[in-house]
Structure 1
């Protein structure tokens, strides 16, 4: 791991050639310089073998990092390197590689399928039919494996660790072991699986595989319905972090920034919920933290941290929901650290905005620089790829109003020189070579150089709020013991009340540090600490009380497996 250095460069001047990339100019010299910085770092990220390096301190291609980077900008900017990088993450068995995560990664971590969403983005950008046929079987086989290993038929949700939040105690209670993390059902990971199934269905339709398409449309619909049923927090107005526990799971009411953003961006949330999520999800002065509230006693990395790539997805969510205030905040939260540190850092401390206080960090971070570029391509100019056209849905906050140009922008066999004036998210006029452009969409059949002009209406969207809050910490998780028919726990700092759960349901709330357990059948008890602001700790480790549930030794009913494995109890195990 690379400890964060305390300083970065004092100045930045472009030193490598990037004029073959799209060139951006506006009335904001700082924003233009940050775009050029991101272009230069994007070029530096290309390894000698043309794959995309994860960061200055992180060599090689990582599945989720490269996939999110491709979605944000690299499919647009460097599609051939994107293709090569994605293929680097396919196993000899033709499966997407889950390369980092708790408990040896797969299946404790199951967010590898964001690869599918990135592969589809590359296809929409390039129109490369051979690419589509190459990636389709990989995605199909990987999702079939996931359906067996990670899909929970009881809830309709997908099991596995939070997407990218893969450092256990940084986002999970300390009592959770790898098996507990595997059994949990996280918002971001489920949003990714919804989109991966949606993408596979679209690929199957494109390739004439109607039965496969129908199956995965149904799978996507089931995951979407389950997220909205099991993870939506009506009172809070956003989704919960994950379901966790053992026999009787409960929902963590923490906000999980990437999951909230992807739920809006991918369309898990309907239009009304999308607006609410963007308005109500807590943000702090330096941006949207990975989770909120923070976990006490855990140093900044995923906990108590803002990650620029997540902030960029939050910007995409804000743009989709039509929330100008949120979008302006997000652009500022991406631009500020890049301008201050003169590189696109991996993360920084949520409470003070400094990169130096995090556990691990890197400059020239692929997904951070891609997020900065994505603000120009996908937010300001609002470019959204479809299989046969490039659609423009610009959103320029009033704080960034004016004239801007994006020249030498390559789309299939065309080169676009784009000029846009005004602000807001409604187009007054859009022309291609002086002629009105139907549907604000450039057809994929266009060839050669063309001039595109966009005039925005310069009307602010309907006013919408953001939920800017102080960067607060929840109480510590209680540690509960059981003796003499009584639960007991030590007082937790700043806790005002304690909620006792029996089989996942509240049975008592008060200031006492004990709870008398009535006689009865087997039950699991947990305790949460709640402070004066209503912030909740994680639920304590489930504590079984009463006669144990019936256990059946399966190896007495079926032949034990003959593998030379160790670490099991009893007389063997069933494969």
Structure 2
């Protein structure tokens, strides 16, 4: 996408802020926070790039990839494309920025292709994905373990790691300033490599390269086996956070890693249910990493340790719902609504898992070389798009496929929240209005623009232009 196109797109986006998508349910909190979430996303694209939020800029591969995947590929496909290319290098042939989470870009990019059906985008995205994966295989793959090295997906601060990765004599906040951080092998990071291999196989299929597709599928299965061997205890059904450079396993609960292991099928359905049942969830949501490292506590929680990062909780809610635990999904969604409304109606970056207060957590850094409480950034984009993910994918069951937008609404969640309508929901060049009639836990019928479309709960909508009204008729 050429940059001169962006201002015209942005003008339309900014005009939409007062007329954004509207959610109408019997839950006033949910409706209000949905409005705040969409406005937060639009607020953070004023400079053509999906910014991380608040005082952060847009130069974060992981933020852009997660935000496009969560919601922006649906609502803002042009800006999503521009943002995805913005974090590539060498004329869009390599993925850029911090190496350990570069490969999550593949997830955002393939989701963008499914949202837009743009084969030209897919072709170039596949080139960037292949080149980057090959480079990472050559430079950061530990052949002894069969796992990729480097920090966990978003934990670029040293507060996310226990000794011997953390060195109390070192005063830097940045994880890679600690020599023992480089050889670590983390659950969440290896999960996104596994998923990238799967998606690159799908890309190769779409581009008629069956041999490359088969190679990537084999690599995915090999990596999956290594994750299960080294980071999953089948006897206790527990996933571990990481393996350090001395070969020691750190048996902490990593929320993002657990969620991805379930979502991507690294654990089977029975294992997933047990993981969800056993996981520790605090009074204000699943903590990012649990329990506290020895240098932190409830009173002084680590920035990347026992705190709630809402985008992690959104993925966890997704994983829990996948195991049939709608109650845990409801808890995380309602909890996030309360956190936002109790913090000046704003999506913050991080919250205290025990008190619910806005809290950036403790971490060393700057000139003092001592731990101090960091800021929790306001208007954090992935906190907002995580909320949108829970509405779009959880309640409505919206999922991009090769054939179009799949709609698999969850009638239980619709009834629980009193879902009535969602309006002006953009899909490609058209808009959707989805409404529910009836008050049961079973979908009896679906109508598209007044015409009977079947009784199935999964309905694939082909890419289209114009306005489409979908009526979901529920009953007992």
The verdict on a shared fold, with TM-score over 0.5 as the criterion, is: yes
In the TM superposition, what whole-angstrom CA distance separates every residue of 1:162-182 from its partner, at most 9, and x where no partner exists?
Answer: 110121243232555744322
CA distance in 1, matches of 2:385, 2:86: 19
Give the gaps of 5 or more residues in structure 2.
1-13, 168-177, 362-373
Q: Corresponding residue for 2:409?
A: 394
Cα drift, residue 266 of structure 1: 1.8
Task: Determine which of 297, 301, 304 is the counterpart of 2:303.
Answer: 301
Cα drift, residue 226 of structure 1: 1.5
Q: Corresponding residue for 2:151?
A: 161
Task: Determine which of 61, 64, 78 is the counterpart of 1:63.
Answer: 61
Q: Corresponding residue for 1:151?
A: 141
The answer to whether 1:124 aligns with 2:122 is no
The answer to whether 1:408 aligns with 2:424 is yes
Question: In the superposition, relative to structure 1, how do residues 119 and 425 fare at CA in structure 2: closer, same or farther (>3 Å)?
Answer: farther
Q: Corresponding residue for 1:339?
A: 341
CA distance in 2, matches of 1:26, 1:240: 39
Cα drift, residue 53 of structure 1: 1.2
Larger-gyration structure (1/2)? 1
Q: Corresponding residue for 1:348?
A: 351
CA distance in 1, matches of 2:474, 2:130: 42
Q: Corresponding residue for 1:431?
A: 447
Task: Determine which of 433, 436, 442 is the counterpart of 1:417.
Answer: 433
Q: Is the contact made by 1:424 and 1:456 (CA closer than 8 Å) also made in structure 2?
A: yes
In the TM superposition, what whole-angstrom CA distance separates every residue of 1:119-170 from its partner, at most 9, and x where no partner exists?
Answer: 0111111111121112110001000111111222322222111110121243
Q: Is the contact made by 1:125 and 1:412 (CA closer than 8 Å) also made in structure 2?
A: yes
Question: In the superposition, relative to structure 1, how do residues 287 and 174 fare at CA in structure 2: closer, same or farther (>3 Å)?
Answer: same
Question: In the superposition, relative to structure 1, how do residues 353 and 404 fare at CA in structure 2: closer, same or farther (>3 Å)?
Answer: same
CA distance in 2, matches of 1:232, 1:308: 25
Cα drift, residue 317 of structure 1: 0.7
Q: Corresponding residue for 2:385?
A: 370
Q: Secondary structure at the match of 1:192?
A: helix
Give the gaps of 5 or more residues in structure 1.
1-14, 100-105, 459-575
Cα drift, residue 436 of structure 1: 2.3
Q: Is the contact made by 1:132 and 1:203 (CA closer than 8 Å) also made in structure 2?
A: yes
Q: Higher helix proportion, which one?
A: 2
Q: Secondary structure at the match of 1:397?
A: helix
Aligned length, in residue pairs: 432
CA distance in 1, matches of 2:88, 2:465: 34
Cα drift, residue 333 of structure 1: 2.4
CA distance in 2, matches of 1:57, 1:175: 29
Q: Corresponding residue for 1:468?
A: none
Report matched runs for 1:465-476 at 5 Å.
none
234-243 vs 201-210, greater mean Cα deviation: 234-243
Q: Secondary structure at the match of 2:70?
A: helix
Cα drift, residue 290 of structure 1: 0.6
In the TM superposition, what whole-angstrom CA distance separates every residue of 1:393-420 from its partner, at most 9, and x where no partner exists?
Answer: 2234388342321122232344321112
TM-score, normalising length: structure 2 = 0.85
Task: Determine which of 308, 314, 317 is the counterpart of 2:316.
Answer: 314
CA distance in 2, matches of 1:130, 1:235: 47
Q: Is the contact made by 1:430 and 1:440 (CA closer than 8 Å) also made in structure 2?
A: no
Q: Corresponding residue for 2:370?
A: none
Q: Corresponding residue for 2:173?
A: none
CA distance in 1, matches of 2:382, 2:276: 22
Report matched runs for 1:175-214 at 5 Å.
175-176=165-166, 178-214=178-214
CA distance in 2, matches of 1:185, 1:216: 21
Q: CA RMSD in A?
A: 2.2
Q: Is the contact made by 1:421 and 1:455 (CA closer than 8 Å) also made in structure 2?
A: yes
CA distance in 2, matches of 1:152, 1:259: 19
> Using CA pairs below 8 Å that are at least 6 residues apart, which structure has the higher relative contact order?
2
CA distance in 2, matches of 1:82, 1:219: 29
Q: Is the contact made by 2:360 and 2:376 (CA closer than 8 Å) also made in structure 1?
A: no
Cα drift, residue 424 of structure 1: 8.7
The answer to whether 1:220 aligns with 2:191 is no
Cα drift, residue 374 of structure 1: 1.3
Question: In the superposition, relative to structure 1, how do residues 294 and 210 fare at CA in structure 2: closer, same or farther (>3 Å)?
Answer: same
CA distance in 2, matches of 1:372, 1:443: 23
389-398 vs 220-229, greater mean Cα deviation: 389-398
Cα drift, residue 256 of structure 1: 0.2
CA distance in 1, matches of 2:89, 2:23: 38
TM-score, normalising length: structure 1 = 0.71
Report matched runs for 1:480-495 at 5 Å.
none
